[in-house]
Amino acid sequence: MYSGILSCVIFAARSLNRMQPNVVRTEVFEFDNRSMDRQNNMERAAQLIQEGKLVAFPTETVYGLGANALDPMAVAKIFALKERPSFDPLIIHIADLEDLKKLTSEIDERVYLLAENFWPGSLTLVLPKSNRVPDIVTSGLPTVGIRMPANEIARELIRKSGCPIAAPSANKFGRISPTKADHVKKQLPDVDCILDGGKTTVGIESTIIELIEKGFRILRNGIITKEDIESVLPFDETEKTESIVAPGMVKSHYSPVKKMMVADESFRMDIDKSKAGLISFSGKYETGFQKVIRVSETNDLKEYAVNMFEAMHTFEDDIEIDIIIAEPVAETGIGKAIMDRLRKAEYNWRKD
Ligand code: TXA
Ligand code: MG
């Protein structure tokens, strides 16, 4: 019953998008320190959010596709523009801790402990939702994902808009996440507005956790690792993280339109390197490739995370490249989050 209503709302939003294909002209505002119009641009973007429009904005992880989280019709437009299935819930972004109380029905002291240690930052907490959160945001779940982003443009937009902002990553469903405004333009040319805050500084999506009786469990790995969180809260070893699947956690995701493979050190497989682009980490296997993007000069996993999606976009857009090869890393610490993205990005292509 719930999903039927939701599908109707999203269908209506999609039809509306189709009926006005040329009416939408994206407003793009650049935000750098020299920008004289910063204040005006921010006010304009906040006005668009208040009017129920969609604004893509930078967070420190990836760009988000934002709408007023308390306006179901505005949220429906996110699902329609992204072509996202209605069963995949959205994260709500807040700028101040006060906002948390309005969106959740229960907050225990562990939430404040986590907020104190990791917010603003790339940690999303899945918490019991309050009645104020529309069902469309949470796909009908009794819980809601909330985070306070570290990016100042993001927090300023939330404050100016006067409402929490629901935002998934600003890409078509299943495709490569955006770490630059150009990546958003490429996939979502019909978005109402883009706030260009330059390249994001973390580069992969937030860590998502859920609190359970004995501690927490991880629903999505990110730059904030299990070990980081364990320094504040115990991890429940009896809960197998892998068996817990967040509703939107599908096997294929983050995927380029070109063939992609995570290839181990041997590189012995049957590929034509003259048409291949290598996303290189160690620098050891670069010989023979048509193009190489070295994601880190210093073997720093944080840099792999920062540069990974941009490298995938660059090769996706490069006509000389037919296949993208990514160098794997050990699945510990931040390496877990990197390998999660790479495995999902190559998933569709492994099957052929
Ligand atoms: O860093 C990020 O988290 C970025 C930026 C824009 O904040 N956002 C992001 O959103 O990655 P999205 O929609 O691409 O991924 C959010 C994931 C989805 O896969 C969804 O399944 C999960 O969060 N999620 C959201 N609410 C949830 C809930 N109540 N329970 C379990 N999983 C949830
Ligand atoms: Mg996403």
Give the range among 31-40, 125-134, 237-246, 299-308 with minimum mean pLDDT: 237-246
Ligand 1 site, residue 202, Cβ cutoff 6 A: no
Ligand 1 site, residue 256, Cβ cutoff 6 A: no
Residue 241 domain flag: no
Same domain, 173 and 313: no
Ligand 1 site, residue 90, Cβ cutoff 6 A: yes
Ligand 1 site, residue 167, Cβ cutoff 6 A: yes
State residue 38's pLDDT score.
Answer: 86
Q: What is the mean pLDDT of residues 106-111?
A: 90
Ligand 1 site, residue 85, Cβ cutoff 6 A: no
Same domain, 67 and 123: yes
State residue 7's pLDDT score.
Answer: 60
Q: Is the pLDDT of residue 222 over 60?
A: yes
State residue 14's pLDDT score.
Answer: 60
Q: What is the mean pLDDT of residues 111-134?
A: 97
Residue 235 domain flag: no
Same domain, 289 and 225: no
Does an H or E element contain 76, and which?
helix 72-82
What does the pLDDT look like over 270-300, one tens digit per residue?
A: 788 999 999 999 999 899 999 999 999 999 9
Cα–chain center distance at 72: 21
Q: What is the mean pLDDT of residues 144-162?
A: 98
Ligand 1 site, residue 250, Cβ cutoff 6 A: no
Same domain, 199 and 270: no
Ligand 1 site, residue 58, Cβ cutoff 6 A: no
Average confidence score pLDDT of the chain:
89
The CA distance from 270 to 159, in Å, is 53
Same domain, 169 and 283: no
Q: Would you place residue 22 in the very low, low, confident or very high pLDDT band (cuts 50, 70, 90)?
A: very low
Same domain, 175 and 216: yes
State residue 297's pLDDT score.
Answer: 96
State residue 215's pLDDT score.
Answer: 87
| Residue nearest atom 13 in ligand 1 by C-alpha distance | 168
Domain that holds residue 48: 2-230
Same domain, 105 and 201: yes
Q: Is 108 helix (H, G, I), strand (E, B) or coil?
A: coil
Q: Is 142 helix (H, G, I), strand (E, B) or coil?
A: coil
Residue 136 domain flag: yes
Same domain, 195 and 314: no
Q: What is the mean pLDDT of residues 180-198?
A: 97
Same domain, 125 and 203: yes
Q: What is the mean pLDDT of residues 41-52?
A: 96
DSSP letter string over 244-313?
---TT--SS-SB-SSEEEE--TT--SS--GGGEEEEESSSTT-TT-SEEEES-SS--HHHHHHHHHHHHH
What does the pLDDT look like over 237-271, one tens digit per residue?
A: 665 554 445 655 677 788 899 999 998 765 666 78
Q: What is the mean pLDDT of residues 181-199?
A: 97
| Residue 49 CB neighbour total at 10 angstroms | 26
- Residue 161's Cβ-side half-sphere holds a number of Cα atoms within 13 Å equal to 32
State residue 65's pLDDT score.
Answer: 98
Kindly give the distance from the C-alpha atom of residue 114 to the centroid of ligand 2, in angstroms, as a whole number. Answer: 23
State residue 153's pLDDT score.
Answer: 97
State residue 255's pLDDT score.
Answer: 86
The ligand placed nearest to the CA atom of residue 200 is 1
Which atom of ligand 1 lies closest to the CA of 206? Answer: 1
pTM for the model = 0.92
Does an H or E element contain 111, and which?
helix 109-118
Residue 252 domain flag: no
Which atom of ligand 1 lies closest to the CA of 141? Answer: 29
Going from the C-alpha of 335 to that of each of 120, 245, 308, the distances in angstroms are 23, 19, 12
Which atom of ligand 1 lies closest to the CA of 208? Answer: 23
Which atom of ligand 1 lies closest to the CA of 144? Answer: 29
Q: Is the pLDDT of residue 24 over 70?
A: no
Give the range among 45-54, 89-98, 219-228, 247-256 with minimum mean pLDDT: 247-256
Closest CA to 63 of 208, 207, 145, 170: 170
Ligand 1 site, residue 138, Cβ cutoff 6 A: yes
Residue 253 domain flag: no
Domain count, the chain: 2
State residue 21's pLDDT score.
Answer: 44
Which atom of ligand 1 lies closest to the CA of 61? Answer: 1
CATH assignment at residue 324: 3.40.50.11030
Q: Is 331 helix (H, G, I), strand (E, B) or coil?
A: coil
